[in-house]
Chain A
Amino acid sequence: MPEIVLDGVEKRYGRTQVLPPLDLTLEDGEFTVLVGPSGCGKSTTLRLLAGLETLSGGEITFDGRPISKLEPKARDVAMVFQDYALYPHMNVAKNMSFALRLSRVPKDEIDRRVAAAAEMLGIDHLLDRKPAALSGGQRQRVAMGRALVRDAGVFLFDEPLSNLDAKLRARMRTELAEMRNSIDKNMIYVTHDQVEAMTLGDRIVVMNAGRIQQQGTPEDLFERPVNKFVAGFIGAPTMNFLPARAEGDRLVGEGFDLPHPPGLPVPQGAVEIGIRPSAITVDHGAPLELRVVVAEYLGAQSVLVTRCGPHEVLAEVESATRAKPGETVRFAVDPAEIMIFDPETGTRLVPDGEG
């Protein structure tokens, strides 16, 4: 269970720079989630760690030991691939035991470990099947099992749930969250799904275009995003962004006039404000008046898509309010939940004490 340090790690394919110099420290025994939109370099980072790609610059160390020149097998990593990458010609038991057989672990030890992992994943009745005779969810479990029997120092997961249907994905997510506590290893999990990231990660690293935007606990990212990208990426439905002007202690824009959030320094001129849909509530006495365009009924909650001047604003409200498309509804916004971003750089304005 090494501490992993990426020091100025770079990756180029020909002239395209996929990863600009990247610094990241992954603590021992932590479950780290790398999250970011598709194509931002998450898989590349993972493959560099696994040794499937060579670095174009920088160094990776496991417990201070440089490993960038080592073959994958010398790095003591196990990996779960997005497409599972099972060996088509081997049955489940053989798939799971391949690494152990290569490293000449005694047969009874192999059988014991495969049986234990298979039982934990609920695939012990499938050990004789070939991958072609398994469902997507079962293949996913086999891929997971193949990594688990290894007992490697580092576990790498590359979007392991992205090929499953929504229901199965939710279930596997829960199981993973349970399993993660019983496995005391350094685990690095890559996903583009912020819900997965929030539910699984001890620590989340948000990436965009090869750059780390922010790292921290799920609460850090949700409550104290450093910039507009993180604020927009984390949380669902996504945060509303509106251009505004700071006028005295008011934030004024097209179609709204809101109080300045308490505790924040008062900026000058143009700003961009961010409001989470959950911070908007229906309140018949409030001054903010918005026309509902679409009402998405989700059960207890509904998401109202409304118009505020030229902009779209999402509000997550109790379904009991029964707002209909075409109606104009009055909304209240909790001033403490308003975030202010620099319109140029996207950085969030923070209270004097924070950050």
Chain B
Amino acid sequence: MLANVNRATPYLFLAPAVLVMAVALLYPIGYMIWASFLDWNPSQRIGEAEFVGLRNYIYLLGDAAFRESFWVTIRFAAIVVTVEMVLGVGLALLLDRKLRGMTVLRTIFILPMMIAPIVVGLMWRYMYHPTVGTLNRMLESVGLPSAPWLSDGTWAFASIVIADIWQWTPFIFILALAALQSLPQSAMEAARIDGASGWQLIWHVKLPLMLPVLIVTALLRLIDAFKVLEVILVLTNGGPGLSTEIVALRIARTAQEFQDLGTAAAMSNLLLILLLVLTILMFGYTRLTERRAARLAAAREAEIT
């Protein structure tokens, strides 16, 4: 009896936290799910809105503009996260050494991350300006034709990708650097004695040991990239055409301009589902590889005995 009480104790202590979490997390999500089944405009209270079942979802699946922005979002997230991971981890590997001035350099590298996104957007909009912008002036000064940074669909997409990479590579850089510096030093020395060159050390020892941190970092970045809004809002507001209209922007516009809260909620839910699937896939994958390794080891051990 007493043992049972003891076992229940941790749960008792956790209960208040779980309750707060449930209310703070599940309530808005539940609210959003409920809203996605309604035909609801902002002038109505939620109770007055008409229940329309799956109509919002069906409408979205058939909506070419939404599919386009879904596709833009996926492309955007995939490209920025890949490039940022490569750059961030690469920089961390490069700057993980004890040289004078390294601390200053590292601090400079993480500055972009600390700037408010709206400001980043304004700053880049200025740099991308067709006539007085820094970038075009630079191009002209070396005799190259100026580029339609924000006025051409393809260029505009590239422009928002560049701005995002500029702002978020430091995030990956810091986490990768922290991971690197917590790696066991003596294992690295052992690898050098075992004959590993710089590249082999990175490939066979450093990266595999950093992998758990890198996976979580990539996941965090991915989730964030799917929700990015302010910078793009300021830079292109989704244009030209739909070339840079990511889902988050479309959600905001659906709610504000089209006054259709139900469809906006349905879009948010689709985005949420996508993120959930991605997260589950990624954790599932690591779980799976671990389990497979364990099974293999067990099988081999059984074979021996």
Q: Is B45 an interface residue (CB 8 A)?
A: no
* Complex CA–CA separation, A99 to B200 (angstroms): 11
* Complex CA–CA separation, A140 to B185 (angstroms): 17
Q: Classify the secondary structure of B's interface with A.
A: helix
Please name the residue on chain A nearest to B211 by beta carbon: A89
In contact, B300 and A128 (Cβ under 8 angstroms): yes
In contact, A52 and B192 (Cβ under 8 angstroms): yes
- CB contacts (< 8 Å) of A103 on chain B: these are 195
In contact, B301 and A85 (Cβ under 8 angstroms): no
Q: Is A77 an interface residue (CB 8 A)?
A: yes
In contact, B193 and A89 (Cβ under 8 angstroms): no
Chain A nearest CB from B214 CB (Å) reads 13
Chain B nearest CB from A129 CB (Å) reads 7
* Complex CA–CA separation, A71 to B209 (angstroms): 23
Over the window 189-212 of chain B, the binary record of Cβ atoms lying under 8 Å from chain A Cβ atoms (1 yes, 0 no) is: 111111111001000110011010
In contact, B195 and A81 (Cβ under 8 angstroms): no
- CB contacts (< 8 Å) of B195 on chain A: these are 72-73, 99, 102-103
* Complex CA–CA separation, A131 to B44 (angstroms): 63
* Complex CA–CA separation, A98 to B190 (angstroms): 10
Q: Is A148 an interface residue (CB 8 A)?
A: no
Over the window 128-169 of chain B, the binary record of Cβ atoms lying under 8 Å from chain A Cβ atoms (1 yes, 0 no) is: 000000000000000000000000000000000000000000
* Complex CA–CA separation, A78 to B190 (angstroms): 9
Q: Is A340 an interface residue (CB 8 A)?
A: no
Residue among B187, B200, B205, B296 with most chain A CB within 10 A: B187
Given the known A-B contacts A85-B184, A85-B186, A91-B297, are A99 and B192 also in contact in the complex, defined by CB atoms under 8 Å?
A: no
Q: Is A88 an interface residue (CB 8 A)?
A: yes
In contact, A81 and B190 (Cβ under 8 angstroms): yes
Please name the residue on chain B nearest to A152 by beta carbon: B193
Q: Is B304 an interface residue (CB 8 A)?
A: yes
Q: Classify the secondary structure of A's interface with B.
A: loop
Determine which of B184, B196, B209, B297 lies in contact with A102 in the assembled complex, contact meaning CB atoms within 8 Å. Answer: B196
Determine which of B194, B208, B209, B296 lies in contact with A99 in the assembled complex, contact meaning CB atoms within 8 Å. Answer: B194
How many residues of B are in contact with the other chain, CB < 8 A?
Answer: 23
Interface size class of A (residues with CB under 8 A): 20 to 34
Given the known A-B contacts A83-B186, A88-B184, A89-B208, are A72 and B297 also in contact in the complex, defined by CB atoms under 8 Å?
A: no
Over the window 64-85 of chain A, the binary record of Cβ atoms lying under 8 Å from chain B Cβ atoms (1 yes, 0 no) is: 0000000111000111010101
Please name the residue on chain A nearest to B301 by beta carbon: A128
Please name the residue on chain A nearest to B205 by beta carbon: A87
Chain A nearest CB from B125 CB (Å) reads 45
Q: Is A50 an interface residue (CB 8 A)?
A: yes
Residue among B197, B204, B211 with most chain A CB within 10 A: B204
In contact, B209 and A50 (Cβ under 8 angstroms): no
Determine which of B187, B296, B300 lies in contact with A87 in the assembled complex, contact meaning CB atoms within 8 Å. Answer: B187
Please name the residue on chain A nearest to B200 by beta carbon: A102
- CB contacts (< 8 Å) of B300 on chain A: these are 128
Q: Is A171 an interface residue (CB 8 A)?
A: no
Q: Is A114 an interface residue (CB 8 A)?
A: no
In contact, A85 and B189 (Cβ under 8 angstroms): yes
In contact, A88 and B209 (Cβ under 8 angstroms): yes
In contact, A72 and B192 (Cβ under 8 angstroms): yes
* Complex CA–CA separation, A88 to B187 (angstroms): 8
Q: What total count of A-B pairs have CB within 8 Å?
A: 66
Determine which of B186, B197, B209, B211 lies in contact with A81 in the assembled complex, contact meaning CB atoms within 8 Å. Answer: B186
Given the known A-B contacts A85-B186, A128-B296, A128-B297, are A50 and B191 also in contact in the complex, defined by CB atoms under 8 Å?
A: no
* Complex CA–CA separation, A99 to B187 (angstroms): 13
Chain B nearest CB from A329 CB (Å) reads 51
- CB contacts (< 8 Å) of B208 on chain A: these are 89
Please name the residue on chain A nearest to B300 by beta carbon: A128
* Complex CA–CA separation, A91 to B208 (angstroms): 13
In contact, B194 and A52 (Cβ under 8 angstroms): no
Chain A nearest CB from B203 CB (Å) reads 11
In contact, B192 and A129 (Cβ under 8 angstroms): no
Chain A nearest CB from B30 CB (Å) reads 41
Determine which of A73, A83, A86 lies in contact with B192 in the assembled complex, contact meaning CB atoms within 8 Å. Answer: A73
In contact, A81 and B196 (Cβ under 8 angstroms): no
* Complex CA–CA separation, A125 to B301 (angstroms): 8
Please name the residue on chain B nearest to A102 by beta carbon: B195
Chain A nearest CB from B291 CB (Å) reads 14
* Complex CA–CA separation, A344 to B138 (angstroms): 77
* Complex CA–CA separation, A304 to B301 (angstroms): 53
Over the window 205-227 of chain B, the binary record of Cβ atoms lying under 8 Å from chain A Cβ atoms (1 yes, 0 no) is: 10011010000000000000000
In B289-305, which residues have CB < 8 Å from any A CB?
A: 296-297, 300-301, 304
Given the known A-B contacts A91-B297, A128-B301, are A50 and B193 also in contact in the complex, defined by CB atoms under 8 Å?
A: yes
* Complex CA–CA separation, A281 to B196 (angstroms): 58
In contact, B190 and A102 (Cβ under 8 angstroms): no
In contact, B297 and A73 (Cβ under 8 angstroms): no
Residue among B184, B187, B193, B300 with most chain A CB within 10 A: B193
In contact, B189 and A52 (Cβ under 8 angstroms): yes
- CB contacts (< 8 Å) of B304 on chain A: these are 125
- CB contacts (< 8 Å) of A88 on chain B: these are 184, 187, 209
Given the known A-B contacts A102-B194, A125-B304, A128-B296, are A89 and B189 also in contact in the complex, defined by CB atoms under 8 Å?
A: no
Given contacts A73-B196, A102-B204, 15 further A-B contacts (CB under 8 A): A52-B193, A71-B192, A72-B192, A81-B190, A83-B186, A85-B184, A87-B190, A87-B191, A88-B187, A88-B209, A98-B194, A102-B195, A128-B300, A128-B301, A129-B297
17 contacts between A and B (CB under 8 A): A51-B193, A52-B193, A71-B192, A73-B193, A81-B186, A85-B187, A85-B189, A87-B205, A88-B187, A88-B209, A89-B211, A91-B297, A98-B194, A102-B200, A102-B204, A125-B301, A128-B301
Give chain A's interface residues, CB within 8 Å of chain B: 50-52, 71-73, 77-79, 81, 83, 85-89, 91, 98-99, 102-103, 125, 128-129, 146, 150
